[in-house]
Amino acid sequence: MDPGVRTSTAVDSGDVFDSLLTQLKALDSVENLRHAVGPEKRQELMLQCQKVFASLEAPFELTQRVTYSPFLLIATRTAQGYGILSRLARARSSGVPCRISELATHTQIEEGVLISLLDYLCSQFICEEVAPEEYVGTATADMLNAPAMEVPFQNFQDIILPGGWIGFYRSLAPDESRSGWQIGRNTQSTFYEWLDDPSHAVDSQKFHRFMEVQFKGIPSWLDDIDFISMYAKGAKANDVVFVDVGGGNGQESGKLRVKVPNLVGKVVVQDLPGPLNRAPEISGVEKMEYDYTGEQTIKGARIYYFRQIFHNNSDKDCIAILNNHRPAMASESVILIDEKVVPDDDKSSQMYTSALSLSMWALFRGLERKRRQWLKLLDQAGFEARDIRKYTDFGDCIITAVPKE
């Protein structure tokens, strides 16, 4: 028999399952398992477990999983917002379980609902019921309870899910031109116009805070490069070195000042008036109002940097943005686009890039782009990619774009 062909009899024998189960149980008892294995093996193991899980699932179980999938986000957000996660994490560190009755007093949530919520969190391995109605958080609860971890869940459950994702399905209809966001919120305003409205200041702050912390713990585009020799050689104090276009809270500009403390020249964050006014002051970073649908007003900067701007826009609008920058560019200027470049063949970052892409469609009728789509877009705008540098395992890249000769 061809050894590459797997038949049902090859895995039918109970031995395979028994030995696999024994091995998986052994892994389960390893402390800090994710640190006990190298990054590539870890990814491979997770993927393989997910594949096997999907093959083991029966139709009813699959239906349940798909149907209730939003509850992972909703229950996590609830456990964070009502201080349940912090109590579960404390129970883990102190070894004293937390009781439903105490949680009910603390959260003012009815006990019956709390029991279901805690059961659900147990089913997701966020906590364990160690005695009837007594719970202790797991290592996952610790991770979810880390500082700033509430930010993504607030952003997605409070803003993106009810506003954008909910309208995704209808946004695909052939006669529909609105985004999922416009359908879900029943508004003519685009996502950023809606956030810019002073009555939505709280949501705007949540969103911009999310932009600030979303890549916490993964490599930065500024790691392992000699920024000055690449982009700022000979720059004088009055030269503009870095323009952070649509920079939001200015986190990347702030990071640049910290990572390259001897950088000479100006660093400027540009954005719409609302987010700019609400953005914190950062030492060594200037703020300037600018709408990228009009011509760039800072001339001759070394870098015009765009992080997560192009995927908010259609090809036509991206071409317009690039054209709005060409007149400002001097011979040393470059455009740096910090975004996902989905590999044309490699599927390793697919899980992260595809969901993000669908989310961009729901919110803006925008999408993530594959490498060949980026090259085509730049070419259509009269630009070329001088370099595409990948800096994370999640598809994040810096595209250096310059006008074609």
Ligand X SMILES: C[S@@+](CC[C@H](N)C(=O)[O-])C[C@H]1O[C@@H](n2cnc3c(N)ncnc32)[C@H](O)[C@@H]1O
Cα 34 to Cα 20: distance, rounded to the nearest angstrom: 19
Phi-psi domain of 398 (left: phi exceeds 0; alpha: psi -120 through 50; beta: other):
beta
Indicate if the alpha-carbon torsion angle 266, 271, 276, 279 is positive or negative. Answer: negative
Beta-carbon contacts of residue 284 (< 8 Å; ≥ 6 apart) = 257, 267
**Which part of the chain contacts ligand X (CB under 6 A), choosing from 243-251, 353-361, 377-385, 390-398?**
243-251
Q: Where are the strands (E) in 343-390, listed by range?
A: 369-370, 383-390
* Cβ distance to ligand X smaller for residue 308 or 357: 308
* Cβ distance to ligand X smaller for residue 197 or 291: 291
- Contact flag: residue 293 with ligand X (CB under 6 A): yes
What's the min distance (Å) between Cβ of 210 and ligand X? 9
- Contact flag: residue 364 with ligand X (CB under 6 A): no
Cα 326 to Cα 334: distance, rounded to the nearest angstrom: 10
* Cβ distance to ligand X smaller for residue 90 or 326: 326
What's the min distance (Å) between Cβ of 336 and ligand X? 11
Per CB under 6 A, the list member of 211, 335, 397, 402 interacting with ligand X is: 211
Per CB under 6 A, the list member of 152, 246, 254, 395 interacting with ligand X is: 246
- Contact flag: residue 163 with ligand X (CB under 6 A): no
Per CB under 6 A, the list member of 120, 135, 192, 304 interacting with ligand X is: 192
Q: Is 221 exposed, middle or buried (0-12, 13-18, 19+ CB in 10 A)?
A: buried
Residues between 311 and 340 with contacts to ligand X, criterion CB under 6 A: 312
What's the min distance (Å) between Cβ of 374 and ligand X? 17
* Cβ distance to ligand X smaller for residue 103 or 381: 381
* Cβ distance to ligand X smaller for residue 89 or 243: 243
What's the min distance (Å) between Cβ of 211 and ligand X? 4
* Cβ distance to ligand X smaller for residue 211 or 285: 211
DSSP 218-287: S--TTTT--HHHHH-TT--TTSEEEEEET-TTTHHHHHHHHH-TT--SEEEEEE-HHHHHHSPP-TT-EE
Cα 121 to Cα 105: distance, rounded to the nearest angstrom: 19
* Cβ distance to ligand X smaller for residue 78 or 312: 312
Angle at 205 between CA 204 and CA 208, to 5 degrees: 85
Residues between 344 and 363 with contacts to ligand X, criterion CB under 6 A: none
Angle at 223 between CA 372 and CA 325, to 5 degrees: 50
Q: Could you tell me which of 121, 132, 131 has the C-alpha nearest to residue 82?
A: 121
Contact 368, 374 (CB under 8 A): no
Q: Mask of contacts with ligand X, 263-292, x by CB under 6 A?
A: --------xx--x--------------xxx
* Cβ distance to ligand X smaller for residue 120 or 207: 207
Residues in contact with ligand X, total (CB under 6 A)? 17
Contact 139, 89 (CB under 8 A): no
- Contact flag: residue 308 with ligand X (CB under 6 A): yes
**Which part of the chain contacts ligand X (CB under 6 A), choosing from 97-105, 136-144, 245-253, 328-336?**
245-253
Taking the alpha carbons at both ends of the chain, their separation in whole angstroms is: 59
* Cβ distance to ligand X smaller for residue 275 or 395: 275
Q: Residue 230 is encoded by which pair of tokens?
A: 């690449």
Q: Where are the strands (E) in 47-162, listed by range?
A: 98-99, 127-131, 134-137
**Which part of the chain contacts ligand X (CB under 6 A), choosing from 99-107, 173-181, 308-316, 356-364?**
308-316
Which residues of the chain form contacts with ligand X (CB under 6 A)? 192, 211, 246-248, 251, 271-272, 275, 290-293, 307-309, 312
